[in-house]
Structure 1
């Protein structure tokens, strides 16, 4: 929709956000419940001495913080947020979504790598499965994503006239837009490298399991193959579409693309695919259940209290 203000043509792209807010609200409720259950299960277990559990706890942390940032986006997209809250969202909570989105992607890559090393029992790379290494890499990951994203929060914004509909790019000064563009390139690089690790690791695991499909434990092997296949498919569905449209939309934000109709289509495509990425919040608790023995045990104990003793004495193998 084109409008004119002070003789300057203005293209409104975010006037169709209300349908998205209802879906975000459902994701928020599902995500906060799943994150709280996972947080309860992990905090009840005081012996998280496995490398995998360190990565899963960090993945849970990023999911939980991302979930807490969603109400601000919902309020802004509904059009009920006051002007100062819109500024807060664009300068802080929107950036927080991306900080934790890319932290999640990196930790998913570490989880896939750890699963591959666990299954292959590779002695050459055994040292990187130490808990100390996992903790060190977790600090590096958080430091990396914060280094990339925090300048988007810290670079001063410009004052603009209050209006019902505003995009975050309108608040950015030239330096802010340049750093925003650089951020997109760096995040795409993170995504591509993490995706290669996830797809290769899961592919190698599937190949190894496929060779054992006719073994005595064929039922568990086939179940493991199905689980890994579904996790990989969910990753592709959640994250690939968003990154396919992210760069073209960035060109629209930086005025490389000026056609209003194309801008509107790119904005809707970006919001639709971002919704798919955030949907990963609802999928990760399933990942915790299948990959973490301690998490699965606590959930089993909680929902089957009458079999608590037998559950504790039973060894449940991880995926």
Structure 2
């Protein structure tokens, strides 16, 4: 099945035909797998978190992450139908104008929330007895609300400015539905989101550098025979940054050159095709975040583990007594 890429330069458009068999067969299958797994895991998470009160900033951020993951999950069937060619062209127009925009909005909300979760873990180490305003539950709810409103404000113009008349041919490329201002806004938002991602990633590495040092010094003072617990704790500490980097970093390496090929740069047709496949492949990897985030709930949230799997998790008391300056949250599930 053949499709085309529309490149825009100084108000003109060039048609670049491409072979879309990978996009129409392979990716829909991969997205279907992610959708099914994500639906099961996030349904379980929703059931568990419904029974957990928001008594800490950590729980507030986890619940908001669940909401963003659930939104991404619900948007996937529309993408699967349109990418596979099973849906009508009118559905493709809706995906371009609405559901794809919502998907990206929820994805970047997840990115920022994972950064806030890392920040929350960092504060538990840096200020174990202190109480900054950001460690207040009400503050966490306000911060989460600001994150949602901010990305909604960035996303809304992408919906409004995709106002060119939709036709069976034009909906093959979402950029062809955007007016000139819409293309410029789309490019600007891409750069803003790139900045957000890399800022969060850099801060996350800084947070976990401090966490690693604190945890290492803590366990150096404890009994060395407790090596298994030490290794298990290290794994829990790094689960957030591992999930974050594996899911989102590849996509952000490929996104900017792909957007440039969409909006105004003249590029060789074969390069445009390669950028499209790279963007779609890394976007699929980013979508697997909806399956990976439940691992964070399981490893780091003791109350979630107890509610979701009906098990009682023992607290690691010995370390608490020997080194009370390091919060329980950094050593066990919380």
- CA deviations on 1:9-47 (whole Å, 9 max, x unpaired) are 6213471312011110000001111110000001022x3
Q: Is the counterpart of residue 35 in structure 1 residue 42 in structure 2?
A: yes
Cα distance in 2 between the residues matched to 1:131 and 1:151: 32
The corresponding residue for 1:281 is 290
- CA deviations on 1:261-289 (whole Å, 9 max, x unpaired) are 11000000000111111111111001011
The within-5 A match list for 1:128-147 is 128-147=134-153
Contact in 1 for aligned 2:170/2:177 (Cα 8 Å):
no
Give SS of 2:172's match: coil
Give SS of 1:11's match: strand
Give SS of 1:212's match: helix
The within-5 A match list for 1:226-305 is 226-301=235-310
Return the TM-score normalized by structure 2: 0.85
Q: How many Å apart are 1:229 and its aligned residue? A: 2.9
Cα distance in 1 between the residues matched to 2:136 and 2:4: 59
Cα distance in 2 between the residues matched to 1:226 and 1:43: 27
Q: How many Å apart are 1:161 and its aligned residue? A: 3.7
User: Which residue of 21, 31, 36 corresponds with 2:28?
Assistant: 21
Q: Is the counterpart of residue 318 in structure 1 residue 315 in structure 2?
A: no
Cα distance in 2 between the residues matched to 1:90 and 1:117: 40
- CA deviations on 1:191-217 (whole Å, 9 max, x unpaired) are 111112221112221222222344235
Q: How many Å apart are 1:135 and its aligned residue? A: 0.6
Cα distance in 2 between the residues matched to 1:288 and 1:65: 18
Cα distance in 1 between the residues matched to 2:35 and 2:309: 25
User: Which residue of 112, 118, 125 corresponds with 1:119?
Assistant: 125
Cα distance in 1 between the residues matched to 2:28 and 2:127: 45
Q: Which range moves more in the overlay, 176-185 or 124-133?
A: 124-133
Q: How many Å apart are 1:176 and its aligned residue? A: 0.9
The corresponding residue for 1:53 is 59
- CA deviations on 1:221-253 (whole Å, 9 max, x unpaired) are 321112233432232121111111111001100
Give SS of 1:114's match: helix
The corresponding residue for 1:12 is 17
Return the TM-score normalized by structure 1: 0.89
- CA deviations on 1:115-170 (whole Å, 9 max, x unpaired) are 11113335556331110110110111001110111111122421254239711111
Q: How many Å apart are 1:95 and its aligned residue? A: 0.4
The corresponding residue for 1:307 is none
The runs of 5 or more residues in structure 1 that have no matched partner are 305-310
Contact in 2 for aligned 1:2/1:9 (Cα 8 Å):
no
Q: Which range moves more in the overlay, 277-286 or 209-218?
A: 209-218
- CA deviations on 1:80-138 (whole Å, 9 max, x unpaired) are 11011011000000001100100000000010011111133355563311101101101
The change in CA–CA distance for 1:110 and 1:262 in structure 2 (over 3 A counts) is same
Q: Is the counterpart of residue 91 in structure 1 residue 106 in structure 2?
A: no
The change in CA–CA distance for 1:122 and 1:224 in structure 2 (over 3 A counts) is same
Q: Which range moves more in the overlay, 169-178 or 154-163?
A: 154-163
Give SS of 1:158's match: coil
What count of residue pairs does the alignment treat as equivalent? Answer: 307
The runs of 5 or more residues in structure 2 that have no matched partner are 6-12, 317-331
Contact in 1 for aligned 2:49/2:63 (Cα 8 Å):
yes
The corresponding residue for 1:79 is 85
Aligned-residue Cα RMSD (Å) equals 2.3
The change in CA–CA distance for 1:125 and 1:194 in structure 2 (over 3 A counts) is farther
